[in-house]
Amino acid sequence: MTFEGLTEEAIKEQFESAEQAQPVQYAAIDLGSNSFHLAIAEYDGHSFRVIGRLKEKVQLANGLDENDILSQEAIERGLNCLKLFQERIKNIPAKFTKVVATYTLREAKNAKAFVEPAEMILNNPIEILPGKEEARLIYDGVSHYHPDIETALVVDIGGGSTEIILGDKFEPINLDSLSIGCVTYQRYFPNGEISDKNFKQAILAAAAEISRIEKRYLSSSWKHCLGSSGSIEAVYKVLVELGFDEGFIRPEHLLLIKDKLLEMGHIDRINFSSLSLSRQNTFAVGLAILIALFQELNIDKMYVANGSLREGILIELAEELKGNDNRHHTALSLMSRFNVDQEYAIQVKNAAQHIFDQVADIWEINNPIYKNYLDWACLLHEIGLSISFSKLRLHSAYIVQYGDMPGFSQQTKESLAAIIANQRKKLYPEQFESKYDPESALLAITQILRLAILLNIKRDHVDISELKFEAIGCNQLTIRIPQQWAYKHQLLLAELSKEKAYLEYHKISLGWTIE
């Protein structure tokens, strides 16, 4: 920046312009089954530059018992780690921070026992990623750090799961998440003993899982293979230590390292100087899984990727803040895939918006996530018609809860499915009780959805702009209806009477006055 020949006002303008161009800091937190990761990055509107990282080996997956209950000890380890992370991100606005959780919190039946206090510590919501969503974000991170790759196979070995992705440039083609992890598979090396028998058992177990999905990857002519994980990075560091600084991993490299480990005989005797102490106890397991991947997917050369899940999270966050929420594209894609009547769905959405605007403040749902829930519910409430009109709401809810929905966390899918499952007739408020969102908020969104569907029952572009909706407390709604409108819509008034009866059973008051 030069100031020669500039007036004081012009210099001030340059400083202001430079200040506006200062990059924004973002934070991505990945609550993995083996380690918790924090990445801090600066974003200048075009690209990310990572300026800080923190990693703590929590081994959350070790706290899962045979009934998928997470131990209090593991929960405490995780929460203590997050207190350290919070110190680092306390000056980064919450909207520039994204926190995701993977395998262990997907599986844990008592995940809320960790998530609720963790969210209080971080002052941020935690999104539990479905397996395929985790795979998609991994590919996002890898592909944006390797923009020149064409058709590529990407592999990530985590603490509880392994993600396998086939993609072309920036677009994933196949996404899979397998229950193979360097923490959960430690059971194949009991007491830390490294033997040929233990290696064979671990490799065979991993190979059996991989064989279920290998066909769609073997039949693809991918040009590059990239490995993105701490386990794969550790293997390459050991190779470099052994004198194989070639930039990639080959099958014979893995067998060489395996032989070295067999000579050492126990995880406590692993003495590679490139391995941290925290990586030692999972190294042999990660190597066994990697050997199985090479064997089953016919990999002859694997490069170590620069990007990972954290980078994918950062990219997704930046897109969301620019208004490019991937979840909206997913909803539209599902509508097309399941042949939803788009014109009708938009009618319902517009009616719901009219009601939402008038009651959101009183019902305390004036929050972007609840507006999103309502929009998505309106657009997707009929996707179950592709199965059958009978039990439509249950079919629609099932597709939302268990379908592949890029961008949607597990909690979001469950809450949205509960709303859609209660779209008509009998109400089941208990379906909202176990969700991460407040029960009252989900019930309020459901009431709006039900009214929007009811007011469009004839599917004929009914105009409800004259109707006034007045919320009183969280369980009472009154509709003010012009007399002429009421005279023209006797069927809708009859339907309102039925809805009133359904809601009264749950002590929810719905009334109207004709003026």
E strand or H helix at 178: strand 171-178
**Residue 12 counted as domain residue:** no
pLDDT at 245: 84
The model's pTM: 0.80
Specify the 3-state DSSP secondary structure of 437. coil
pLDDT (tens digit, 0 to 9) for every residue of the chain, 515 residues total? Answer: 444 455 556 545 554 544 445 678 889 999 999 999 999 988 776 667 888 889 999 999 999 999 999 999 999 999 999 999 999 999 898 888 999 999 999 999 999 999 999 999 999 999 999 999 999 999 998 988 887 788 999 999 999 999 999 999 888 999 999 999 999 999 999 999 999 999 999 999 999 999 999 998 987 778 889 999 889 999 999 999 999 988 899 999 999 999 999 999 999 999 999 998 888 989 999 999 999 999 999 999 999 998 888 888 888 887 776 777 788 888 998 999 999 999 999 999 999 999 999 999 999 898 888 999 999 999 999 999 989 888 899 999 999 999 888 888 888 999 999 999 999 888 888 888 766 778 888 999 999 999 999 999 988 888 999 999 999 877 889 999 999 998 988 988 998 999 998 888 888 889 899 98
E strand or H helix at 226: strand 224-227
Q: Are residues 496 and 404 in the same domain?
A: yes
Token match 């599917």: residue? 459
**Residue 477 counted as domain residue:** yes
Q: Which residues of 45-74 are buried (b: 16+ CB within 10 A; e: fewer)?
A: eeebeeeeebbbbbbbbbbbeeeeebeeeb
Residue 246 backbone class (left: φ over 0; alpha: ψ -120 to 50; beta: rest)? alpha
Instruction: Give me the domain span that covers residue 29.
Output: 21-129
**Residue 269 counted as domain residue:** yes
pLDDT at 43: 75
In this structure, the strands spanning 24-31 and 35-43 are antiparallel
Strand ranges (E), 74-170 = 97-101, 126-128, 151-157, 162-168
Per-residue CA distances from 417 to 98, 199, 323, 376, 381 (Å): 23, 43, 24, 10, 9
Q: Any alpha helices (H) in 212-321, and if so which ranges?
A: 215-218, 230-241, 251-264, 277-296, 309-321
pLDDT at 19: 47
Classify burial at 219, counting beta carbons within 10 Å of its beta carbon; exposed 0-12, middle 13-18, buried 19 or more: exposed
Classify burial at 266, counting beta carbons within 10 Å of its beta carbon; exposed 0-12, middle 13-18, buried 19 or more: middle
Q: Are residues 348 and 430 in the same domain?
A: yes
CA–CA distance, 68 with 23 (Å, rounded to integer): 42
Q: Are residues 263 and 356 in the same domain?
A: no
Instruction: Provide the Cα torsion 492, 493, 497, 503; round to 10°.
Output: 60
Edge-to-edge strand list for the sheet holding 35-43 = 48-57, 35-43, 24-31, 97-101, 126-128
239's tokens = 């190779």
DSSP state of 510: E
Q: Are residues 164 and 104 in the same domain?
A: no
CA–CA distance, 113 with 131 (Å, rounded to integer): 21
pLDDT at 9: 62
Token match 């309106």: residue? 378
Select from 275, 305, 335 the last residue of a domain.
305
Q: Are residues 229 and 284 in the same domain?
A: yes
CA–CA distance, 315 with 39 (Å, rounded to integer): 12
Q: Are residues 329 and 301 in the same domain?
A: no
Token match 């193979």: residue? 180
480's tokens = 């003010």
pLDDT at 409: 87
Number of domains in the chain: 3
Q: Are residues 460 and 425 in the same domain?
A: yes
In this structure, the strands spanning 224-227 and 171-178 are unpaired
Please, how many CA atoms are within 13 Å of residue 161, restricted to the half-sphere of its CB? 25
Q: Which residues of 109-137 are buried (b: 16+ CB within 10 A; e: fewer)?
A: eebeebbeebeeebebbbbbbbbbbbbbb
Q: Are residues 122 and 155 in the same domain?
A: no
E strand or H helix at 118: helix 112-122
CA–CA distance, 292 with 290 (Å, rounded to integer): 5
CATH code for position 221: 3.30.420.150
E strand or H helix at 134: helix 131-145
In this structure, the strands spanning 162-168 and 171-178 are antiparallel
**Residue 272 counted as domain residue:** yes
CATH code for position 33: 3.30.420.40
Q: Are residues 337 and 202 in the same domain?
A: no
CA–CA distance, 417 with 412 (Å, rounded to integer): 8
**Residue 310 counted as domain residue:** no
CATH code for position 452: 1.10.3210.10
Per-residue CA distances from 491 to 61, 382, 458, 496 (Å): 56, 22, 9, 9
> How many other C-beta atoms can be found within 10 angstroms of the C-beta atom of residue 237?
17
**Residue 139 counted as domain residue:** no
DSSP bridge pairs for 48: 43
DSSP state of 1: -
Specify the 3-state DSSP secondary structure of 365. coil
Q: Are residues 174 and 298 in the same domain?
A: yes
Q: Are residues 481 and 346 in the same domain?
A: yes
Phi, then psi, of 439 in degrees rounded to 5: -60, -40
Q: Are residues 359 and 460 in the same domain?
A: yes
